[in-house]
Amino acid sequence: MAKILNIGSLNLDYVYAVPHFVEAGETLLSSRRDVFPGGKGLNQTVAAARAGAEVFHGGAVGADGDMLLDLLKDAGADVSAVTRVDVPTGHAVIQVSPQGENAIIILGGANRAVSPGTVEAALEKVEAGDILLLQNEINGLAAIIRRAWEKGLRILFNPAPMEAGVKDLPLELLDTLIVNEGEGRALAGDMDALRAAYPNQKILLTQGSRGASLWTGSELIFQPAFPVKAVDTTAAGDCFLGYYAAALAEDLSFAQALRLASAASALAVQKQGAAPSIPLRAEVEAFLREK
């Protein structure tokens, strides 16, 4: 079985309940504050680990990052390649109104202080043929992609949050480019345009409640979404990607990987929260046996 390395973001989400969004010059009382684990990197590692894969997480946290490391370890991930840095852990300050609307400020923090040494230490955990997961929430992505390609890793990249600089990355070195429809349009357009723009890459296009489409280089595989009543879709994409990577690590077929990932995502959206909503492999298998 192949190993998975995720060099990705680790965030703390500070969520404040407020009567309305704070205005310029205003001091506002909050009725409640909650602290949650977050970051696309963390969510994807948790998903891959709960799917049963051997997963290593590389990245950085500040002195306040113990909660995140404990969560990853509890999920079964190896965090020995996460380093401590002298800046705060990446975090978000989130205002939530009584109507459920939110306003968010994000500080990259430690996620933007991942050193070349940390990257090299993380890459030592894996070897040619293993899988590297990346998102667009850490610094140094171009160098990481080139170094991983030199090492012979299968690089799966999810360019979220999408920004103009993504096009400047060495995307031609990827094994698989994973985008939602909005990210796909920003990069090139629809699936046909993406295939034309990145002819040597597999393209995985997630399409929300409709499902997901994968161009393997020789065929187009569509996996419809499982019909469920969604409660919270926050971690749906991350859960999907973590489970998909785990399935590839097991050497399942592309069709089997898509089906497993779609089932995991269907279970995740039926629960509140991000990482806490990601199901265990046994739950996903039980769900699939009923289909």
Per-residue pLDDT of the chain (291 residues; tens, 9 = 90+): 999 999 999 999 898 999 999 999 999 999 999 888 999 999 999 999 999 999 999 999 999 999 999 999 999 999 999 999 999 999 989 898 998 788 888 899 999 999 999 999 999 999 999 999 999 999 999 999 999 999 999 999 999 989 999 999 999 999 999 999 999 999 998 999 999 999 999 999 999 889 999 999 999 999 999 999 988 888 899 999 999 999 999 999 999 999 999 999 999 999 888 898 999 999 999 999 998
Please give the sequence-ordered ranges of beta strands (E in DSSP) within 148-243, or none if there are none.
154-158, 176-180, 202-206, 211-215, 220-224
* Residues identified as active-site: 238
Indicate the pairing of strand 220-224 with strand 211-215.
antiparallel
Task: For residue 34, give the 3-state DSSP assignment.
Answer: strand
What does the domain layout of the chain look like in residue ranges? 4-10+39-91+110-289
Q: What is the CATH number of domain 4-10+39-91+110-289?
A: 3.40.1190.20
pTM comes to 0.94
The pairing of strands 202-206 and 176-180 is: parallel
**CA-CA-CA-CA torsion for 26, 32, 33, 36, nearest 10 degrees?**
-130
Alpha-carbon gap, residue 147 to 268, rounded angstroms: 33
Q: Quick one: tokens of 168?
A: 């400047």
